[in-house]
Amino acid sequence: MRQPIVNVLVIAALAALAGCVTKQVIVQAPAAPAAPSAPAWVNQGAGAFKDPGVFYGVGRVSGIRNVALAYQAADDRARAEIAQTFSSYMARLGKDYQASTSAGEPGKSSEEQHVEVALKSFSKATLAGTVIIDHYVDSASGMVSALCKLDMAAINKSLEQAKDIPEKLRDIIRTNSEKSHDNLSAEEAKH
């Protein structure tokens, strides 16, 4: 009688350990495709570009009648996407419950399960040099999309040309810019 209980406990412990070492991959569902005439970045997001040292963010918003507010929200979401590239905190909580009960009659059982997942995401970054370079409005859905660009080489070049900025401050900004790019490249190399 004790052996089956020990076997169940060993299996449960192995399952718990396996759950601790598995890598969770979170995939965000793509936005609904826009019209075929939309620019590539509207449907492909930042993946539409392959420029080294340049970061892109795409922000989308729908259901806002106030045009100025819709554009501002899309712009902010595009900047937030770039910020998320540099710094993100993710927390995930998963709960899983399963039960199977049979009452003596072979082949008949009562099954139940409950699965719950909670996900929290937080990004914080100071973005200097981000520029909104394009907007697109889908005439069918009214969705406003904004494209934001952060070009590290352009930032470094403008720092070289800036005469009003003290040399020490230029060096700090340049160093932080290069450090951010190197950190992101190192993080990408891990995956």
pLDDT, tens only, 92-137: 888 888 888 887 777 788 888 888 888 777 767 666 778 999 999 9
How far is the C-alpha of 129 from the C-alpha of 142, rounded, in Å? 29
For the chain, the structural domain boundaries read: 39-190
pLDDT, tens only, 25-55: 333 334 455 567 889 898 888 777 888 888 8
Q: Is the pTM of this model over 0.85?
A: no
Residues 6+ apart with CB under 8 A from 172: none
CA within 13 Å, CB half, 81: 24
